[in-house]
Chain A
Amino acid sequence: MGEVKFFFGPNHPGMNGNFSVHLYVEGDTVVKARPIPGFLHRGFEKLMERRLWFQNMALIPRICVPEPDINEICYSMAIEKIAKIDVPERAQWIRMIVLELARMANHFMSFPGIGGPLGLYTGPNWGVADRDRILDIFEALTGARVYHMYIIPGGVRKDMTPKIEDLIQKTIDYIESRLPDYENLIFKNRIVHTRLKGKIILTREQALEMGVTGVGLRATGVPYDIRKVDPYLFYDKVDFEVPTATEGDAFSRVYLKFLEIPQSIKIIRQALEKMPAGKVNVRISEGSALRYRVPKGYAYVHVESSRGEYGYFMVSDGGEKPYRVAVRGASYPQGLYGIEKYMPGTRIEDVPVWLATMDVCAPEIDR
């Protein structure tokens, strides 16, 4: 039996976004895999250098479609770090709420989404419907459902109202009540167990060697979460746990995401309680938004996204536009090196599972 090459993606139902992998298979087993990125390359980092500091707020959310807020927070925190700006406390709490909501929204696409490659289509349908309830919160709070452009350097754009707080309370209560359904449907499902448990193992050594973070690393027993390791915003003032596992297989990677949802709910509840009244933003610079300037300097900031460590390295030459912005996408290591190095040996039907559980997110690899 000779080697057969075939193309997986960019238009394939099992593919995570606009991304392609060239598979060389012998029988059903992959012997060589070549990731083909670039379908979504829009040159974000270069585009940012040509836009004003504030104008970039409309551009950066597009680096990650399902969870745009991590871009806003990284961009904002980097500017605040360079310009040494103290953000009002209320804004920090609101930011945390937004980030945790975004994490949940992303997880609701991601962990039920495993039903796609497995043929369990109830999962994705439920997940998208429940995610939409979180998007309703975003719509009420930020004015848009997907690209919020809400977290800005210096704070957030608009204040949270009691009405929105109420909506958040109700929604997270509802989501909490839905979790047993998901557990029964997906994580107590024998088919899911058969397909995921003990499959596609990423060992601790492999994860550390490539620089995989997020659930990929936590599933190997390393409790690495930026929120705990290097707390930003007020994550050191809230009580939450970082779920870990030791198996390092596909099932634990998916299950950890599910376990993070109650933690996010816990954080949001505490944030709503602890949030003081007050201003929600400060100016990062004098003048109108057309003339914002950030002092000369550079900063690296990182946050825990739903896929792992997400960071921005930003350089300012003191002008009206960023001098350089470099984005560390959380799925970059596994999405490029990981596929090439560790996908061989996988069976064809497990390739979509590989890509889904490894959190390969095309737009943030391509940028």
Chain B
Amino acid sequence: MEKSFFAPTKAWKFLFRKPVTIKVPYEKREASERYRGFHINDWSKCIGCGTCAKICPTDAIKMVEVPELPQEFGKKPQRPVIDYGRCSFCGMCVDICTTGSLKMTREYVHISPDPETFIFMPTEKGIHNAEFPLGWTRDADSDLLDLERVEMEMVEAEERVKSFIEYVRGYSKERAMKEASRCVECGICTDRCPQHMNIPEYIKSIWNDDLEEGLRWLYKTNPLSSVCGRVCTHRCEEVCSISHRGEAIAIRWLKRYIIDNVPLEKFDEILKIKPEKKDKKVAIVGSGPAGLSAAYFLATMGYSVDVYETMPKPGGVMRYGIPRYRLPDEALDKDIAFIEALGVRIMTNVKVGEDISLEKLHEEYDAVFLSTGFGLGGSTKVPGTDHPDVIQALPLLRAIRNFLRGDGPKPKIPRKLVVIGGGNVAMDVARSMARLQMMEYGEVHVHVACLERTYEEMPADMEEIEEGEEEGVVFHPGWGPIRVIIEDDKVKGVEFKKCLEVFDETGRFNPKFDEENRMVLEGDMVVEAIGQAPDYSYIPDDLKEKLEFKRGRIVTNPSQQTNIPWLFAGGDIVHGPDIINGVADGYRAAKGIDEYLKGV
């Protein structure tokens, strides 16, 4: 009884203690190191991908266009705006930020009678422009992205150099889905792709295991997906938002996965292309990427399309340039077969300008699309290049593919080869020849020299260089040829001088050399792969006069229409430099031709 009466009075001792509360706002209290306070965003790092807005569970983040921001590839001119009336301060936006630009500070007090101030676009400074220490930041534990690419199975270098089999094996279903799961659907890749393919959409359909849907997305923009899925220059992957902190999504391989895993017989049923036939006819000169792309899109619009091709088989550079280990005939055949199934007629072994003239095409067809590509090679024109064992890359690649297909004789295989050039064509020559040497002599002796001083400067893809090295190709970046050494009328090698600079201050090609620093590469054959040139000999002079040329390329309007209304052009002769740009040209030309023919 007494105990229960007196015990509570012990609390009276607290009368003489200081209060535990602090007097806000006179006294400040700093938040803890991990505190999830107001956001800051480093605009120099932010790419406007919008992943923060996607993960936001309360829809507090909106991406807002910022017109002052420059329009550039790999970045969207938009920045996140946060509505602190909705924000739950969960920090998921910080944990998933693809660049790490979005962070949280320890600032946590904002009082205002104006509700508009609670909607805030974070910059490097916080909501009150005051410096606060960082709060919640992403670390390896809290990271919400998957940064590691699913490795592509490839045939080992020792094995693949012995033959021309396709060494990239392609993804299995599990691996493709795993790779697809890393995508955050920002669409920065779509902006970068010359043809603006619906990349996030088809990756999502892989993730949903709906390849038919994926195929429909592919064919909306690209009838050469089987080719592009193998040899596209994949500019999309360079800008992939995941690549800022990790490895880019293997967009190219995922495209290949879709097209490889839907049988050709089902294409018709899935894509359901049933255009209304139109009574207009279009001729296409050249069956390369641009020509085939234009043919496909015109056919889907209902035009009857005839493609004229000089070579015995359609495909252009895809059939006669790119080596078989990267692009087997079967892959190309699949794409072409579907285009032909739409009613496109491909006339092979017909050379426009000789077998049929351009004027004749104009008479018989309502519009003509030129996509003849760059069929001629360039030469360094140093002394000795006129020797028969100094050859051009493109004819050699053509000869190798013909030989492998059984359509041509075996090309001359040197014991020692020197390749001049640092682009993908030079890589194709070097790696093809390495294979032929291995098959013929059991050893590889290929040296590649180019002006560019580092691997990064070289126009070739890094993976091409790395894989070439694995196969035994030796690279010598930073050397310019002086002369081809010829003794007893036989090629013995090439003498080089050190290249100091490739481009001058204005960015123009103007190499500077160190004349003293020299080097000799031995070889009994030299291949020049320093760029290609167009052949316009099939265009009659009167038409040529009307056309406008700029640096060897035909000038067109955005619809690929030349100065001659019925004549459209695309591909390397207009834009270059790769297949996907050709596809894009073909797409634009098809639309341009459609509009032109509707107006006629």
Contacts and interface: CB of A to CB of B under 8 A. Distances in A.
Contacts of B55: 52, 54-55, 289-290
Contacts of B35: 139, 143-144
Contact of A184 (B7, B36, B181): B7
Interface in A134-179: 136, 139-144, 147, 149, 155, 157-159
A181 B11 contact: yes
Nearest to A136: B32
A59 B8 contact: no
Given A129-B20, A291-B207, A149 B90 contact: yes
A41 interface: no
Interface in B78-115: 88-92, 95-96
A287 B90 contact: no
A188 B91 contact: no
Given A58-B90, A58-B92, A289-B96, A122 B11 contact: yes
B92 to A, nearest CB: 7
B139 interface: yes
A143 B20 contact: no
B383 to A, nearest CB: 58
Contacts of A141: 34
Contact of B181 (A51, A155, A188, A287): A287
Interface string B301-328: 0000000000000000000000000000
B598 interface: no
Contacts of B141: 155, 157-159, 279-281
Interface string A175-202: 0000001011110111001000000000
A139 B91 CA distance: 13
A57 interface: yes
B146 A287 contact: yes
B182 A287 contact: yes
Nearest to A186: B8
Interface string A288-325: 11110100000000000000000000000000000000
Interface in A241-280: 279-280
A209 interface: no
A198 to B, nearest CB: 15
A286 interface: yes
Interface in B572-594: none
Contacts of A181: 10-11
B7 A144 contact: no
A140 B33 contact: yes
Contact of B136 (A57, A143, A183, A293): A143
B172 interface: no
A56 interface: yes
B185 interface: yes
B183 A288 contact: yes
Contacts of B180: 287
A279 B142 CA distance: 11
Interface residues of B, number: 46
B90 A290 contact: no
Interface in A51-83: 51-52, 54-59
Interface in B34-59: 34-36, 51, 54-55, 57-58
Interface string B201-233: 000000100000000000000000000000000
B533 to A, nearest CB: 45
B20 to A, nearest CB: 5
B185 A290 contact: yes
Nearest to B87: A58
B88 A58 contact: yes
Contacts of A286: 146, 177-178, 181-182
Contact of B54 (A189, A283, A290): A290
A289 B185 contact: no
B10 A142 contact: no
Contacts of B51: 290
Contact of A55 (B14, B92, B142): B92
A364 B11 CA distance: 35
A288 B20 contact: no
B4 A188 contact: yes
B482 interface: no
B183 A57 contact: no
B361 interface: no
B184 A290 contact: yes
B144 interface: yes
B178 A288 contact: no
Contact of B7 (A56, A189, A285): A189
Contacts of B33: 140
B8 A157 contact: no
B262 interface: no
A59 B3 CA distance: 48
Nearest to A189: B8
B31 interface: yes
Nearest to A152: B142
Given A139-B31, A189-B8, A157 B96 contact: no
Contacts of A283: 146
Interface string B458-492: 00000000000000000000000000000000000
Interface in B1-39: 1, 3-5, 7-8, 10-11, 14, 20-21, 31-36
Contacts of A188: 3-4, 7-8
Nearest to B1: A190
A102 to B, nearest CB: 17
Contacts of A184: 7-8, 10-11
Contacts of B34: 139-143, 158
B1 to A, nearest CB: 8
B570 interface: no
Given A54-B55, A55-B57, A139-B31, A147 B88 contact: yes
A190 B4 contact: yes
30 contacts: A54-B92, A54-B144, A58-B90, A59-B57, A129-B20, A139-B31, A139-B34, A141-B34, A143-B32, A143-B136, A149-B88, A149-B91, A158-B139, A158-B141, A184-B10, A185-B11, A190-B1, A190-B5, A190-B8, A281-B141, A283-B146, A285-B181, A286-B182, A287-B181, A289-B92, A289-B96, A290-B55, A291-B181, A291-B182, A291-B183
Q: What 9 A-B pairs have minimum CB-CB distances, sorted nearest first?
A: A287-B181, A188-B7, A289-B144, A55-B57, A58-B90, A58-B57, A143-B34, A190-B4, A184-B7
Interface of A: 51-52, 54-59, 122, 129, 136, 139-144, 147, 149, 155, 157-159, 181, 183-186, 188-190, 193, 279-281, 283, 285-291, 293
Given A58-B58, A288-B184, A289-B96, 8 more contacts: A54-B92, A56-B57, A57-B57, A139-B32, A157-B142, A193-B4, A287-B180, A290-B55
